[in-house]
């Protein structure tokens, strides 16, 4: 493995690439948590990004690609290796086909489409983060997810740029093929929308945003839901029979129900807190760290496992924790 000074030297020869040494990742995470990365690099230039990825890979160091950091838990020790971010954020459309680059904020794409009377993303208003990560994780809310609109995804597979149609992306609830191929990096996505009155779309988006801002105040240091919801039909019969019908929504059981049953609401550890109105919402009150956060998550998983024999699965992604997370 080459030294990171040598890697930095090689990276510095790539045009349009911003390079930062020992950059605190807490600056890039909504939790406001995370130690330094050896190197943090970003660019809006696709060729430069590919070159930086190649350099990172050849260096033998670990590397990870991040978006807006709204779904990440970065360790207190930070990340030994290279953090990369693709920042191109162009959004454009021809008739009802929209193309958005991965570095655009999902909210910017929602606003762009709503203003132009293009229906399909309005229920995703208020979901923070980048558009690329939204496709990667098949983000969604209020009964819809991004997969319903994706026509094709352009990505780099480590060797070449490829294009996948919707079926090839293998979307499921908060899943896509990109989650299973961490070295595939999404550059841009084409969406198929429908024409609709802009005022009507705006009314829906504004209504949803008002509710969301109450649940997740914009200043709250959190990752939204920590755990994925569970699909009712996939639960063992002895668990299914214990779930009250009233909590099931669109065939899913909110993990918040299991968490509430094991006393998660209002739990506190150091600067980390579970919201007292929502058992699947864990936030940093200020001064919290990743160690405390991980302990709360592990404690909740253990309690649910013991009570229900179920393993809750995190929706959040870990960075810089040995053996888990997207570090390659």
Ligand X SMILES: Cc1cc2nc3c(=O)[nH]c(=O)nc-3n(C[C@H](O)[C@H](O)[C@H](O)COP(=O)(O)OP(=O)(O)OC[C@H]3O[C@@H](n4cnc5c(N)ncnc54)[C@H](O)[C@@H]3O)c2cc1C
| 127 Rama sector, left if φ>0, alpha if ψ -120 to 50, beta otherwise | beta
CB of 186 vs ligand X, minimal distance in Å = 4
**Binding to ligand X by residue 71, rule CB under 6 A?**
yes
Q: Evaluate whether 31 touches 76 at the Cβ level (below 8 Å).
A: no
User: Residues 157-196 vs ligand X: string with x where CB under 6 A?
Assistant: ---------------------x------xx----------
Is 175 an active-site residue?
no
**Binding to ligand X by residue 66, rule CB under 6 A?**
yes
Comparing CB distances to ligand X, the nearer of 156 and 308 is 156
Where does this chain touch ligand X (CB under 6 A) — which range of 111-119, 133-141, 157-165, 300-308? 133-141
Is 176 an active-site residue?
no
Length of the chain measured in residues = 328
Query: Which sign, positive or negative, has the C-alpha torsion 57, 62, 67, 68?
Result: negative
Catalytic residue selected from 174, 240, 260, 299: 174
* Cα separation values, 288 from 26, 76, 182, Å: 11, 10, 28
CA nearest to 122, candidates 104, 103, 143, 101: 143
Among 139, 230, 262, 274, binds ligand X (CB under 6 A): 139
b or e along 243-258 (b: 16 or more beta carbons within 10 Å of the residue's beta carbon)?
Answer: beeeeeeeebbbbbbb
CB of 242 vs ligand X, minimal distance in Å = 26
Is 105 an active-site residue?
no
Among 35, 68, 81, 254, binds ligand X (CB under 6 A): 68
* Cα separation values, 272 from 103, 291, 316, Å: 29, 10, 16
State how far the Cα of 280 lies from the Cα of 264, in Å rounded to an integer.
8
Among 70, 107, 255, 289, binds ligand X (CB under 6 A): 70
Burial of 99 (0-12, 13-18, 19+ CB in 10 A): middle
Count of residues that interact with ligand X, criterion CB under 6 A:
32
**Binding to ligand X by residue 129, rule CB under 6 A?**
yes
What residues from 205 to 264 belong to the interface with ligand X (CB under 6 A)?
Answer: 216, 222-224
Q: Evaluate whether 103 touches 132 at the Cβ level (below 8 Å).
A: yes
Binding site for ligand X (CB under 6 A): 30, 65-72, 86, 102, 127-130, 132-134, 136-137, 139-141, 178, 185-186, 216, 222-224, 317, 326
Catalytic residues: 174, 225, 315
């Amino acid at each position: 493995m080459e030294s990171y000074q040598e890697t930095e030297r090689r990276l510095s020869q790539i045009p349009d690439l911003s390079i930062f040494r020992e950059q605190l990742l807490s600056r890039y995470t909504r939790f406001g948590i995370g130690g330094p990365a050896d190197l943090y690099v970003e660019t809006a230039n696709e060729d430069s990004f590919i070159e930086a990825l190649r350099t990172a890979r050849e260096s033998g160091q670990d590397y990870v690609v991040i978006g807006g950091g709204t779904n990440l838990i970065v360790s207190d020790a930070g990340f030994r290796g290279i953090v990369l971010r693709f920042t191109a954020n162009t959004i454009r459309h021809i008739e009802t086909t929209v193309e958005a680059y991965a570095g655009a904020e999902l909210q910017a794409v929602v606003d762009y489409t709503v203003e132009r009377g293009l229906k399909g993303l309005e229920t995703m208003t208020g979901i923070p983060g980048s558009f690329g990560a939204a496709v990667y994780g098949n983000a969604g809310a209020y009964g819809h997810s991004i997969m319903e609109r994706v026509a094709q995804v352009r990505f780099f597979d480590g060797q070449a740029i490829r294009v996948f149609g919707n079926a090839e992306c293998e979307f499921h609830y908060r899943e896509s093929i990109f989650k299973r191929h961490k070295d595939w990096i999404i550059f841009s996505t084409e969406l198929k929308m429908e024409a609709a009155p802009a005022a009507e779309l705006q009314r829906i988006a504004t209504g949803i945003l008002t509710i969301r801002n109450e649940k997740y105040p914009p200043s709250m240091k959190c990752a939204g839901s920590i755990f994925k919801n569970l699909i009712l039909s996939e639960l063992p019969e002895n668990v299914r029979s214990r779930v009250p019908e009233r909590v099931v929504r669109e065939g899913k059981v909110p993990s918040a129900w299991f968490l509430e049953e094991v006393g998660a609401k209002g739990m506190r550890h150091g600067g980390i807190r579970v919201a007292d109105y929502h058992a699947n919402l864990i936030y940093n009150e200020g001064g919290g760290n990743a160690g405390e956060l991980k302990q709360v998550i592990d404690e909740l998983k253990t309690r649910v496992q013991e009570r229900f024999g179920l393993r809750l699965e995190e929706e959040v992604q870990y960075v810089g924790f040995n053996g888990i997370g997207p570090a390659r």
